[in-house]
Amino acid sequence: MPLKVCPNCPYYQLDNSLCISGLNVVAKRFAKEGNIKNFSNRARGFFCANNLYIAGFILPIIALIPALVINFSYIVLAILLVMVGLLAFRFFVLFPKVACGHCRAKNICPNAKAMGLNDK
């Protein structure tokens, strides 16, 4: 994210700014400034940054399912349920109410558009 998405984000160009993830500070140290018009490209293509980001959350959950089938354990089941709960909390509470709702890039962000937050 700091190398592909953040250089094109509005937070990268603002002085003393901090986005919800804080990755714009990291991006300023390692990547040169991009074009803000390319920010929406984060959701284009099969291996785009959005899909890779989501895969990082979904794949561990999917990997636990065969572990439960092969050798059932209440601890692994609890871990699976906690991971699913945290993922749901992230998408249904944290993003719409905390992160995306107050973000300065929500008018051009494909994630905010998908959640219907870009017009608010």
Is 52 in contact with 44 (CB distance < 8 Å)?
Answer: no
Contacts of 40 (CB under 8 A, 6+ apart): 108, 109, 110
pLDDT band (50, 70, 90) for residue 120: low
Query: Could you tell me what percent of the chain has a pLDDT over 90?
Result: 27
pTM of the model: 0.69
User: Rounded distance, CA 96 to CA 102, Å?
Assistant: 9
- Assigned domain for 38 exists: yes
Q: Of 76 and 119, which is predicted with more confidence?
A: 76
- Assigned domain for 1 exists: no
User: Rounded distance, CA 93 to CA 119, Å?
Assistant: 18
Q: Of 98 and 90, which is predicted with more confidence?
A: 90
| Residues spanned by the domain of 25 | 6-115
User: Rounded distance, CA 51 to CA 44, Å?
Assistant: 9
How many structural domains compose the chain? 1
- Assigned domain for 26 exists: yes
Per-residue pLDDT for 58 more than 80?
Answer: yes
Q: What is the pLDDT of residue 50?
A: 80
- Assigned domain for 95 exists: yes
